[in-house]
Structure 1
């Protein structure tokens, strides 16, 4: 497993607010090239992901494993590294801890989307899933949006309580809930961050809701109930992180939504945020986000 020092050093390179700004800058950089990621399924349900990208200065590849069977154990579900290279010389500049990059850039993407799209970005906030991504999103939204109140829902009461204690240590009004549907009524800012194969959040959305769904990244996975997704599409807007989500966003695919009509985050940022009704932001991951992290960790 990755040494804690490697994770800490990588996190120090990637503060959330500068990372969100770097993500926005990357979306405006026409030199960025991101080929399709390669996914090799392994016996037993695990997978190997190889995700390269480059701009005019840096090349990088994230090589990680995803092992769902590790959930609930001492081993992380995501392990691996991000290799960063100088395009001019081919020299390796840095090796970043893959799970830390994944957690922080995913939370920073959600932060960027919330900064631009959330009707009430200061919360209160509901987080469904108290693992690595849940904590990263809590930290990112506190630092970037000034969230003061958070509700935590998780299948594991111990994990939920640990995240509640972390939030309280940050000075938040934090509590655990066994009924995320009820907390949804109270919290206009929502993040779902579970490796779910079945629905973990249902209910009706208010016009001021912003939901960032980041846990499901294959067609077979889903976190959100079909009715919730359909309401967001019908009454507000559904935004995906990249065009790849058309084939990967299990929540939206299983809700029967017209994936070819979904605007991407880059398109929304270019056009400006039209604020009407609830917003559902669906994030499936992209090597471009890892390249933004590499750019921040290896400044010119």
Structure 2
């Protein structure tokens, strides 16, 4: 492999097939040599944020450097922009430069895929996706290719966005339809992904008792997708899981519901089947998986890309 490989968005996506990326994330969660310091979130004038997210294992070090500007899509610009730089730990040599938004979309959806592999009772769907942006498309593809979902319902603030994702789903061979009331659609869907802009509560109704819900839109304490009373109901009747301990101070949905996030099991607990997971799991009731993001997922993506380049 050349000393440094620069991958554009298309090449980055091709190097990160969802099932392989989910496997890489699971492998990372078993690796005690992974180090992920707290990410730096620098507020920017105008409401945007700059994220600096380093991570390393025994062989690879990465830094993710991205901006998040929530109102960019309304102006025809991506909400997330930036890059991920991958280094060799021993030599300090740059090994690769990856497209940051592509990695963010795909690793977030792959984390949901991994969680659903372990926690979802009804893998076939129907799947309800609330939010038809980049994350909605990534989750559609990830759960179709990695979980076997064949039916999907799409809800969005704009009918045009929902219709575009429905068309994409049908092109993938899925049975897909637009729904105009996401809350009403919850009753028919045992798989749910919420990936809205999380600037206000979008979901007020309760998921089914057998549902697996992945809430990915809110990744700061102020952001929210699910109503506090729904989160409290889920805590009382089901099982709550967070992606990492960073969610303790980032999981806006749960924090605004007044829940003790630090007491919840993480995805690593689930994958490792730890005592913390055994104590927390309930055989019945809905499962609510709160995903906030973590540089470890980007490290897993870098490991996946490097393995593919080397192979």
* TM-score normalised by length of structure 2: 0.93
Partner of 1:135: 137
**1:186 aligns to 2:188 (yes or no):** yes
Instruction: Indicate the SS of the match to 2:245.
Output: coil
Instruction: Indicate the SS of the match to 2:75.
Output: coil
Q: 2: distance between equivalents of 1:42 and 1:196?
A: 19
- Runs of 4 or more consecutive aligned structure 1 residues displaced over 4 Å after TM superposition: none
Partner of 1:291: 299
Partner of 1:218: 220
Deviations 1:12-62, CA, capped at 9 Å, x for gaps: 110000000000000000000000001110110011100000000100000
Q: Give the alignment partner of residue 255 of structure 2, picking from 232, 245, 253.
A: 253
Q: 2: distance between equivalents of 1:11 and 1:74?
A: 21
Partner of 1:68: 70
Partner of 1:29: 31
Judge conservation of contact 2:183–2:203 (CA < 8 Å) in 1. Answer: yes
Partner of 1:124: 126
Deviations 1:110-132, CA, capped at 9 Å, x for gaps: 00000000111221000000000
Q: Give the alignment partner of residue 202 of structure 1, picking from 201, 204, 223.
A: 204
Partner of 1:281: 289
Q: 2: distance between equivalents of 1:296 and 1:268?
A: 22
- Greater shift, 148-157 or 129-138, is seen at 148-157
Q: 1: distance between equivalents of 2:29 and 2:228?
A: 30
Deviations 1:161-199, CA, capped at 9 Å, x for gaps: 100000011111111111001110000000000121211
- Greater shift, 113-122 or 66-75, is seen at 66-75
Partner of 1:44: 46
Q: How many residues align?
A: 296
Judge conservation of contact 1:205–1:231 (CA < 8 Å) in 2. Answer: no
Instruction: Indicate the SS of the match to 1:14.
Output: coil
Q: 2: distance between equivalents of 1:9 and 1:146?
A: 25
Shift, 1:153, TM fit: 0.5
Q: 1: distance between equivalents of 2:111 and 2:213?
A: 13
Q: 2: distance between equivalents of 1:30 and 1:246?
A: 21
Gaps of 5+ in 1: none
RMSD after superposition? 1.2
Q: 1: distance between equivalents of 2:262 and 2:105?
A: 27
* TM-score normalised by length of structure 1: 0.96
Deviations 1:232-278, CA, capped at 9 Å, x for gaps: 11111000000010100110011111112111110122227744210
Instruction: Indicate the SS of the match to 1:284.
Output: coil
**1:103 aligns to 2:105 (yes or no):** yes
Instruction: Indicate the SS of the match to 2:8.
Output: helix
Q: 2: distance between equivalents of 1:157 and 1:43?
A: 31
**1:169 aligns to 2:171 (yes or no):** yes
Q: Give the alignment partner of residue 155 of structure 1, picking from 157, 164, 167.
A: 157
Instruction: Indicate the SS of the match to 1:71.
Output: helix
Q: Give the alignment partner of residue 265 of structure 2, picking from 239, 247, 263.
A: 263
Gaps of 5+ in 2: 1-6
Judge conservation of contact 1:65–1:79 (CA < 8 Å) in 2. Answer: yes
Shift, 1:226, TM fit: 1.4
